[in-house]
């Protein structure tokens, strides 16, 4: 959960900062990169969480 929260928090930081950038093409690329990272690693973070909960014999929400 902490890993996914950090990933999402970092992506929000990118989105906030790129909003102020004058080079819109570069900002768009950075936003796309951030979205791709959340998409790829957000799923992995969910898998780690599920494996931990299963390994502990705990119910997932």
Task: Walk along the chain (61 residues) in steps of 10 and give the mean pLDDT of each run.
Answer: 92 97 98 96 92 88 63
Residue 61: predicted pLDDT: 63
Residue 1: predicted pLDDT: 83
Residue 59: predicted pLDDT: 80
Cα 25 to the center of its chain, rounded Å: 22
Domain ranges of the chain: 2-56
Q: At what angle do helices 24-56 and 2-19 cross, to 10 degrees?
A: 170
* pTM of the entire predicted model: 0.76
């Amino acid at each position: 959960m902490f890993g996914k929260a950090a990933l999402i928090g970092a992506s929000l930081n990118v989105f906030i900062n790129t909003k102020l950038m004058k080079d819109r093409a570069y900002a768009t690329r950075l936003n796309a990169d951030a979205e791709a990272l959340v998409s790829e690693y957000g799923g992995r973070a969910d898998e780690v969480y599920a494996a931990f909960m299963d390994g502990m014999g705990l119910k997932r929400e």
